[in-house]
Amino acid sequence: MIKVKINGQEQNWDGDPDLPLLWFIRDEAGLTGTKFGCGQALCGSCTVIIDKQAVRACITSVSDAAGRDVTTIEGLHPTGDHPVQKAWRQVNVPQCGYCQAGQIMQAAALLMDNPKPNHDQIREAMAGNICRCGCYQRIENAVHLASTGV
């Protein structure tokens, strides 16, 4: 039996220990905010935060997450008012919105590590997260806004 803590709630899994965490989160725990995009850690749609690190849930197994604290978009802030989420809304970032949970989790992890990233640091840190609609200019502005308040 594997125990994983997701958004503060302990979840048990007695199936395949190699099951990608993404599918455990979505299909078994029923938290659908984390998205499937590529399955190969190429696009970042499935980004969650494990122990303050942005992690691609599609190539992380449930057993890798055993005993650790996993935060998904649903658990980022109780009312959805994390500075990154607020900035995202202020800048009207999303178009289709599908990649945005992953983008927001990546940005939140970036700000934990580097509260005042500069232009190049934002572009580098966010480069693993693809947005096919092409919201990059606004994502960059929103990360900047979340980190500086302006």
Is residue 44 within 8 A of residue 129, CB to CB? The reply is yes
66 binds other proteins (CB under 8 A): no
How many other C-beta atoms are found inside a 10 Å radius of the C-beta of residue 3? 13
Is residue 126 within 8 A of residue 104, CB to CB? The reply is no
Cα 85 to Cα 76: distance, rounded to the nearest angstrom: 9
Cα 109 to Cα 31: distance, rounded to the nearest angstrom: 20
Binding span for other proteins by CB under 8 A among 63-71, 82-90, 108-116: 82-90
Is residue 90 within 8 A of residue 31, CB to CB? The reply is no
83 binds other proteins (CB under 8 A): no
Q: How far is the CB of 103 from other proteins (least distance, A)?
A: 9
Size of residue set near other proteins by CB under 8 A: 61
Binding span for other proteins by CB under 8 A among 63-71, 108-116, 125-133: 125-133
Mask 130-149, x = binds other proteins (CB under 8 A)? xxxxxxxxxxx---------
Is residue 25 within 8 A of residue 48, CB to CB? The reply is yes
List of residues contacting other proteins (CB under 8 A): 15-16, 18-20, 22-24, 26-28, 30-40, 42-43, 45, 72-74, 76, 80, 85, 88-89, 92, 94-101, 104, 122-124, 126-140
